[in-house]
């Protein structure tokens, strides 16, 4: 992914996470469940990732798959950074409803641009970049 294309997918510093959070909270077109998922995901800072399961636990949901479904339909991407969510084993998981191809390459490029260390197969290399308990 070239720098111009990548720039389209990145925010200015904390571009207003509060502004984005407010847009999510006020959007009448999303369900309360999706709103909770997107709001919680805004707590994952650039340079870190979480898992579908940890995000589910954060919002009091028993289903990592339900969280994945909400992220698949994220109308706020990349401002609500669904690319920062990985499978529990540290692999890339999905992106934009796909498990391979150009969307996955874009997810890896976005994570690398934010300083997340990924191998070429899309596996997290540094476990210290995982946020699993949201206590920071």
- Whether the CB-CB separation of 50 and 136 falls below 8 Å is answered with no
How deeply is 37 buried, as exposed, middle or buried, from its count of CB atoms within 10 A (0-12, 13-18, 19+)?
A: buried
Q: Of residues 49, 56, 61, 82, which has the active-site annotation? A: 82
Q: Give yes or no for residue 9 having a pLDDT over 50.
A: no
- Which range has the worst mean pLDDT, 6-20, 28-42, 111-125? 6-20
Whole-number Å distance between alpha carbons of 133 and 33: 20
pLDDT in tens, 21-68: 999 999 999 999 999 999 999 999 999 999 999 999 999 999 999 999
- Whether 82 sits among the annotated catalytic residues: the reply is yes
Q: Give yes or no for residue 136 having a pLDDT over 70.
A: no
Fold (CATH) for 3-129:
Arc Repressor Mutant, subunit A (1.10.10)
Domain segments of the chain as ranges: 3-129
Whole-number Å distance between alpha carbons of 112 and 101: 17
pLDDT in tens, 88-102: 999 999 887 888 889
The model carries a pTM of 0.85
């Amino acid at each position: 992914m070239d720098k111009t294309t990548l720039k389209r997918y990145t925010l200015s510093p904390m571009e207003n996470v509060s502004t984005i959070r407010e847009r999510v909270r006020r959007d009448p077109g999303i369900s309360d469940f999706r709103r909770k998922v997107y709001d919680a995901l805004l707590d994952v800072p650039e340079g870190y990732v979480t898992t579908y399961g940890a995000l589910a636990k954060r919002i009091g949901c028993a289903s990592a798959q339900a969280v994945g479904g909400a992220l698949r339909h994220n109308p706020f991407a990349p401002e609500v950074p669904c690319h920062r969510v990985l499978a529990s084993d540290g692999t890339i998981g999905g992106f934009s409803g796909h498990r391979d191809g150009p969307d996955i390459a874009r997810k890896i490029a976005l994570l690398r641009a934010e300083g997340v260390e990924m191998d070429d197969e899309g596996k997290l290399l540094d476990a210290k970049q995982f946020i699993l308990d949201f206590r920071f």
